[in-house]
Amino acid sequence: MTLRVRALEPTDSFTALTALLHAGYARLGALGLNYTAVDQDVETTRRRATRGACLVAELDGRLVGTLALWRGGPDEETERFRRADAFVLGQFAVDPAVQRRGVGAALLAEAERVARAAGAVEVLGDTAETATHLVEYYRRRGWYVVGSVHWPGKTYRSVLLAKAL
């Protein structure tokens, strides 16, 4: 199987990207964690994917993963994300059928490379504090908890995560 991570291209479908996000986040939704990507509409996918950069992963040419990243700035809802020398990561999912094969790790590695190339000194993210498997997933990859926040409308409190580049 050939894995390719690339930037989103104009021919990519936001409908397909949205379906992938829904599939990836379904398990979290079933746990009662209403992450935006559980049921976001296509316009939300488009807006978040075009805010900065968006990566997609293909296995033998099939779309199986995505990760969006954008530069921090004054529009961010939480103070920790307002740094212009940091990139925020979000909208991160891998098709459940091909998880645990390194697709997520490849997306994260490419995101770090893109952020570093753009002059960022840190990458930032967040996840539900009760999703301990995800917090551990990030920790094993060099991320650490830098704060917490309760995003409006969410059923859960989130931890803010950072990794120095």
Ligand X SMILES: CC(C)(COP(=O)(O)OP(=O)(O)OC[C@H]1O[C@@H](n2cnc3c(N)ncnc32)[C@H](O)[C@@H]1OP(=O)(O)O)[C@@H](O)C(=O)NCCC(=O)NCCS
Contact residues for ligand X (CB under 6 A)? 24-25, 28, 92-94, 99-105, 127, 134, 137, 140
With respect to ligand X, which residue has the nearer C-beta, 94 or 120?
94
Q: How far is the CB of 39 from ligand X (least distance, A)?
A: 13
With respect to ligand X, which residue has the nearer C-beta, 40 or 74?
40
Calpha distance 14→117 (Å, rounded): 26
Centroid of chain to Cα 83 = 18
With respect to ligand X, which residue has the nearer C-beta, 50 or 132?
132
Q: How far is the CB of 67 from ligand X (least distance, A)?
A: 8
* Beta-carbon contacts of residue 108 (< 8 Å; ≥ 6 apart): 67, 89, 92, 141
Could you please report the per-residue DSSP string of 104-125?
Answer: HHHHHHHHHHHHHHTT-SEEEE
Q: How far is the CB of 32 from ligand X (least distance, A)?
A: 14
Q: How far is the CB of 162 from ligand X (least distance, A)?
A: 13
H or E stretch including 86? strand 86-94
Closest residue to ligand X using C-beta atoms: 104
